[in-house]
Amino acid sequence: MDDKISVGKISVSSDSVSTVNSEDYVVVSHQGDDTPSTNNGSDDEKTGLKIVGARDQQQLQKELEDVLMDPSVEDQEVRGNHAEQVQTQVQTLEEVENSQSEVPLTADSFHTEPGTMFQKQSMSLPVKPVEEGSPDSSPSTPVPDEDSVVFSKLTYLGCSTVNAPRSETEALRMMAVLRSQSETETPLNVTLSVPNVSEGTVRLFDPDTNAEIANYPIYKILFCVRGHDGTPESDCFAFTESHHNAEIFRIHVFRCVIQEAVSRILYSFATAFRRSAKQIQFPVNPPPSTPDSDIFTFSVSLEIKEDDGKGYFNAVPKEKDKQCFRLRQGVDKKIFIYVQQTSNKELAIERCFGLLLSPGKDVRNSDMHLLDLESMGKNSDGKSYVITGTWNPNSPHFQAVNEETPKDKVLYMTVAVDLVITEVQEPVRFLLETRVRVCSPNERLFWPFSKRTYTEVFYLKLKPIERKERKSNSDTLYEVVSLESESELERRKTTAAPAVRLPQSGSQSSMIPSPPEDDEEEDNDEPLLSGSGDVSKECAEKILETWGDLLCKWHLNLSVRPKTLSSLVRSGVPEALRGEVWQLLAGCHNKDHLVEEYRTLITKESPQDSAITRDVNRTFPAHDYFKDNGGDGQDSLYKICKAYSVYDEEIGYCQGQSFLAAVLLLHMPEEQAFSVLVKIMFDYGLRELFKQNFEDLHCKFYQLERLMQEYIPDLYTHFLNINLEAHMYASQWFLTLFTAKFPLYMVFHIIDLLLCEGISVIFNAALALLKTSKDDLLLTDFEGALKFFRVQLPKRYRSEENAKKLMELACSMKISQKKLKKFEKEYYTMREQQAEQEDPIERFERENRRLLKANLRLEQENDDLAHELVTSKIALRKDLDNAEEKADALNKELLITKQKLVDAEEEKRRLEEESGQLKEMCRRELDKAESEIIKNSSIIGEYKQICSQLSGRLERNQSANRAEIEKIRKQVEVCERCREIFNKEGALKIPSCVKEGSEEETDEEKQELQNKLREMELELAQTKLQLVEAECKIQDLEHHLGLALNEVQALKKTWFNRTLSSIKTVTGTQGKETS
């Protein structure tokens, strides 16, 4: 069962369900516990601790297993598994009682999105829960003891291979292809059996003969998707699976006769995908179906998540001492409200009417501000109603909770959620008041070390509505009498007696799993859970500045450690910088190849898969990041341990490695954590402790006892008197680097020193622990000392102050490497003497067994290498053949290309000649046009000059004539005689007698003057005519110039078009020859 828990968490929607992993897809191969390992034994034999050469081997083995395995966690797992088995049996019995034959499952019971409902209720799908001992069961029917649901009236449309098994787009595309192909082919009717647990198998049966056609274990199924509404594939669904334990993925497509059944089938797959084997179990007894009283109990939890700058939202932590959320200024946030009814008849939450927020407490309704709702509906297990809203902290309404809070102050914040409950007449409002602190936006909260949700229990008192008082025939049954929270009741108890006595439903409230209490009793006998203790990221500004300057200098030359580094590390690395500093100390800043190799290793199979899965569930159960079965923390931890077991084939995975990997995973992503783990195991010598039957580990025990003899002689003597040896209490100190039992603050500081100064720091920490506990240990006997090491000692250092004092003492103890080398030499000398005194036959037999194991391992490696060599040779030969074929094809293409190049050059020369001729012709035409333009311009200029001269001459003559006339007129006016003859206008005053005699003379003069005037007019008309002719000729020349320019432009375009046409013709010919 354990080796199948690698199926990840489940994401459920109306369209698809899938196992969620960080990589695109992972082939999860089924491997039973009887799979042979490389050491010709089981996984437990390889990963267990077998120590040879101690005085009491069985006792040593027992002690090592006791300290590496958490008994309390095992008990919880056993109790959880038992409760699950009971619950499964109860559910199966209920199904058998409710369905003795085919049960018509209407559309109302199908799994839908929250807030939606099917309208077609007349259609039904026969669903047959498998009954144990049914008379219809046969060897071809589903396994009787497998909890599953059978769906009939399905058509199998076919299967196809896919490259991305978790891609909904590709799955829908293949579904459409197979759906269209099925219209022309004979359909295959099948019956589908979907299990309700992740250890089951999906089976296909012939509906006529009940013969099994095919089966697919759940751990091989990676993705399930349905067709979108409004498309021809709306009545289809499909799932992808890994084929024959290889990286080949196939998709199987089905069509339902009843379209509404697709949602129910998808929900069954989601149920099967869940890692139900080790879920947190609730009591088997369900709440009563009818209300025992008028009080309904609800548990409402608040969780706040902040934008991490990478497109994701991470939960904000809560400070341990002040129990308040720690928010960052100016960062977008989301509010998550979880509502779960815990007692009385279950009420149906229809929708969320509004999500509101306001700074402060005891606020008025008018001061609450509405948040934008993002989603609402029941979660995947159907037990809690989840409301999600977005919170913009930069809004002026929330200014009070968006300003940095002083260290000595705490703010209050009120969140309200209005729910519409089907059976209740009016909406119900739940109010949550919590404390918050706002910190600088530059404070980096890498991992949620102390992630918490604020939970409040509410007691809703309802009053039944009489039928005659109901407004309509709706489902409304109750009206609200009162709604009080547990906090309000506690406050009322301290001030005055409550008016209404509400029952304290402790049994019901215990159904909700809550995180372990941070404050534990010192006197109890329960050991401290691994992963206990919260580590604050707060640090003095001066210390951060010092570390910032050091890191800047260090990054300039990563090959040389700064001189002040050692003294700063002894004081402890700031929690916010540990991830970066640990990678630099371990030398992983340029280990990109390990990161790439890790991504390859997690896709391979590990022979210790079951042992890894078992230990991952026991690692850091007290820490929020790792306590959830199937959570992100356990998934990441499983992949790191699995990758290392494949990477280091000689050692593989050993118990205790998961604790060290978990510590690293709390400070950095998976890839970097794996790189640092490899460096600690190889470069710091930790893997040497697991080699050669733990020979080096025994050497460390001897060195520790010799150091005790020197530094703490009285305690050393006491341990000799009570027969307490170092391996009985110090095994997990060396193998897990103190990470298995001690609080996290102390563990992180020890890892600081280890990465900076080496593995000898373990002796400093061990001696400091023994020295500070000497007075208590001197008063104990053998069993009391073991209990003290297991229970009381780790609890002493839950306080950060005690841990600081211990690490100061450890750093002050001087243990020279020369002394450790001396003790090591003494140990191996003593071992040689023991070997000489030992029976040679036994020694040779033991050595022979060791060599046989080594020989088997080497033979296996040799076979693997030979197989790999043959495979690589075949692959190289195939690649060489492909390369030769490709070279021949390229040579042919080269010859064709050369010929095309010659033709192109000839065409180019021809086009260049044509271009030169066209240019020459254009140049001649342009010169000719320019000369014509110049000639016309000169003519036009001359005509204009003549016209201007004539105009000037005419104007001068006219002005001279006017002046002469005016002069004569004045002379006439002066002369009396002339005045009598001429009037003022200049006309003659001639007597009538005279007039007749002088008419002939006057007519002659007039005629002469008219002739002169006519000549002048004729000359003027000729001049104007010449001017008009010149203008017409100018227009004609301009028209010819335009035609010449158009012709030149047309010639240019014709040449360019011909050039382009030639190039296109050559290109098209080449393309045809290539094809």
Instruction: Give the up-direction half-sphere exposure of residue 944: CA atoms within 13 A in the CB hemisphere.
Output: 8
Tokens of 880: 């060489």
Tokens of 381: 């297990």
pLDDT value at residue 713: 92
CA dihedral 19, 25, 31, 37 (to 10 degrees): -140
Tokens of 770: 């023994």
pLDDT value at residue 444: 54
Tell me how far apart the alpha carbons of residues 706 and 700 are, in angstroms, rounded to a whole number. 10
Q: Tell me which residues of the chain have a pLDDT lower than 50.
A: 1-14, 19-144, 245, 275-292, 445-450, 496-523, 993
Tell me how far apart the alpha carbons of residues 513 and 701 are, in angstroms, rounded to a whole number. 42
What are the helix (H) ranges across 224-374?
A: 261-273
Which stretch of DSSP H or E encloses residue 150? strand 148-162
> Which residues, in sequence order, are CB contacts of 378 under 8 Å at separation 6+?
114, 384, 385, 386
Which stretch of DSSP H or E encloses residue 921? helix 840-974
Q: Which of 655, 626, 628 is nearest to 641 (CA)?
A: 655
3-state secondary structure of 343: coil
CA of residue 418 relative to chain centroid, distance: 31
Backbone angles phi, psi at 719, to 5 degrees: -65, -35
pLDDT value at residue 476: 60
3-state secondary structure of 241: strand
Distances (CA, A) of 412 to 367, 403, 418, 427: 14, 13, 20, 25
pLDDT value at residue 762: 92
pLDDT value at residue 989: 64
Tell me how far apart the alpha carbons of residues 43 and 21 are, in angstroms, rounded to a whole number. 25
Tell me how far apart the alpha carbons of residues 733 and 458 are, in angstroms, rounded to a whole number. 46
pLDDT value at residue 894: 94
Tell me how far apart the alpha carbons of residues 483 and 300 are, in angstroms, rounded to a whole number. 13
Which stretch of DSSP H or E encloses residue 97? helix 71-98
CA dihedral 263, 266, 267, 268 (to 10 degrees): 130
What are the helix (H) ranges across 283-399?
A: none
pLDDT in tens, 18-50: 544 333 333 333 333 333 333 333 333 333 333
Start-to-end CA distance of the chain, whole Å, equals: 58
Q: Does the pTM exceed 0.85?
A: no
Tell me how far apart the alpha carbons of residues 147 and 92 are, in angstroms, rounded to a whole number. 7
Q: H helices then E strands: how many in the chain?
A: 29, 23
Tell me how far apart the alpha carbons of residues 47 and 57 are, in angstroms, rounded to a whole number. 17
As a three-state string, the secondary structure of 17-31 is EEEECCCCCCCCCCC
Distances (CA, A) of 622 to 11, 31, 79, 628, 1044: 26, 30, 18, 10, 95
3-state secondary structure of 876: helix
Residue owning tokens 């009940």: 210
Backbone angles phi, psi at 800, to 5 degrees: -65, -35
**Would strands 325-328 and 428-439 be described as parallel, antiparallel, or unpaired?**
parallel
Q: What angle do CA 540, 624, 512 make, to 5 degrees?
A: 135
pLDDT in tens, 938-963: 888 888 888 888 888 888 888 888 88
Backbone angles phi, psi at 641, to 5 degrees: -65, -40
Amino acid at 859: E
pLDDT value at residue 97: 36
Q: Which of 415, 457, 408, 405 is nearest to 436 (CA)?
A: 405
Would you report the helix, strand and coil content of the chain in percent, each value rounded to 5? 50, 15, 30
Tell me how far apart the alpha carbons of residues 403 and 1058 are, in angstroms, rounded to a whole number. 74
Q: Is residue 1009 exposed (0-12), middle (13-18) or buried (19+ Cβ within 10 Å)?
A: exposed
Asked whether the beta carbons of 645 and 681 are under 8 A apart, the reply is no
Asked whether the beta carbons of 207 and 190 are under 8 A apart, the reply is yes
